[in-house]
Chain A
Amino acid sequence: MMLDKPAISYSYLLLRGSFLALISLSLGACVTASIEKERAGVTGLEEGEGVVIMAKSYHLGNETENDFINCVGAAIGRGRGGLRVVPNQEFVDALFPWFEPRTAPADTKGLPDLMMRPGVAQMIKEKGVRYVIWLDGTTDRVAGGGSMSCAAGPGGGGCFGFAWWTNDAKYEASIWDLAGLEDAGTVTADYTGTSFVPAIIVPIPLLARTQSKACKGLADQLKLFIIDEPKPI
């Protein structure tokens, strides 16, 4: 008499799942990073001076995520060499309507005229803003594949399959010096990360935190750019 055996045993499934997870881990949810800096002028901060993080105008098609702007602002303000960050909305409201998406200067050539407007220079001084950091760019999914299906029944449920996707976070930060009314330079960050989700009964997400790594990387470089780097002779 032969006993009925399940076609695929649970131990086999677990073994296969662990194997896939190991392969995925060895592939890693890795992120590759590239950061470039272009300095146009001498930077530095005096006592009481700070920065404000702004998104380039959506009137020009810019789609920079608010979460990313908040993340960069928070990251610049904490840790070693943290800068004083004036909240974006507070700055925009105090200078209304001169930093609205429609009215903000397109480039540093517009700064002298902006400063001549009644009350603008005084308000910027009052807020203690020395640098405006304009962010441009987005995180996009550039590739993906695989498939996964999940099912549930009276005896339990599970997922089978393998999915992956690649995100590309490309951002550019332009730094304007409001004291010298000039362009201080640009920092660009390009981070690419691939995430994997193998699933044998239980999905194991191996996520590449591309955007948050880009946020931290860009913020660290901006801090260095503004205060830590030796001034050119």
Chain B
Amino acid sequence: MSGWQKTFSVALLIAAVSACSTHVSVRDPHIPDPLITAMPLSVGVRYPQSFDHFVHEEQVIGKEKWQIDLGASNKILFNKLFNAMFTDVTLVAESEDATTLGLDALIEPSIDAFEFSVPEQSQTDSFAVWIRYRIKIFDRNGTQIANWPINAYGKSQTSTFGGDEALRRAAVLAMRDAAALIIMQMDKSTGISKLINNDNAMPTTAEPAVQQTAVEEQGDDAR
């Protein structure tokens, strides 16, 4: 086989493979500034390496292959969130000993699972995305005080957005859902406000929800 024939064959193979796979990319989830008051707490945040470049690949049985590239959007999400929730936020490197930094708490977010469904699977015209995050919180001595799983969900219709765009939007909605849940429930679920150094200070955000929301009314099954 001559050189150009080999090149042509490889190009044909790549074209055939790429024709059966879809790539969706989320560079920035564009999370709005949360309308909350920051908690007077000095926290450190340590991100896992996967937050720098998270890619999920999945072959839908009998259908095409999907690749969802979230890039560093998880980091962007949590940076925005924690900077709004706490008065003082410090990024802590993986190799750094957080107990020497004089922080009230160290937060370690991570992704446990990423799942999605396409319209062919759900028999609807919607893409859905589920992201299970996990937040571990350590006190100033390095003792773990919370290990909190967060189930976030987003759904987007293909009739409004094209297939790729609908999946991208469903992923962004799942991230917004996670942000909303963290703001509403973090203190209730982890007790992070008890780590405030000043005994007289009162937590002013991430407090238990005071209004009954649509989802709470239906129970957590709605997740």
Contacts and interface: CB of A to CB of B under 8 A. Distances in A.
Contact of A113 (B33, B126, B173, B210): B210
Given A106-B213, A123-B35, A60 B218 contact: yes
B162 to A, nearest CB: 13
Interface residues of A, number: 34
Contact of B215 (A57, A65, A95, A118): A57
A93 B33 CA distance: 8
A135 B170 CA distance: 20
Contacts of A57: 214-215, 222
A125 interface: no
Contacts, number: 96
A106 B160 contact: no
Given A59-B153, A97-B183, A104 B214 contact: yes
Interface string A93-135: 1111110111111110111011011111001000000000000
A96 B213 contact: no
Interface stretch (B57-65, B69-77, B113-121, B174-182): B174-182
A120 B2 CA distance: 70
Contacts of A117: 35-36, 210
B197 to A, nearest CB: 22
B184 A103 contact: yes
Interface residues of B, number: 35
Contacts of B22: none
Nearest to B128: A58
Given A59-B223, A97-B179, A110 B36 contact: no
A110 B35 contact: no
B35 A102 contact: no
B213 A67 contact: no
Contact of A97 (B34, B212, B222, B223): B34
Nearest to A96: B32
A96 B33 contact: yes
B6 to A, nearest CB: 40
Given A65-B159, A95-B35, 8 more contacts: A59-B214, A60-B214, A63-B126, A101-B173, A103-B180, A105-B211, A106-B212, A117-B210
6 contacts: A97-B176, A97-B180, A97-B184, A100-B176, A110-B211, A117-B35
Q: Which 3 A-B pairs have the closest CB atoms?
A: A110-B211, A97-B180, A113-B211
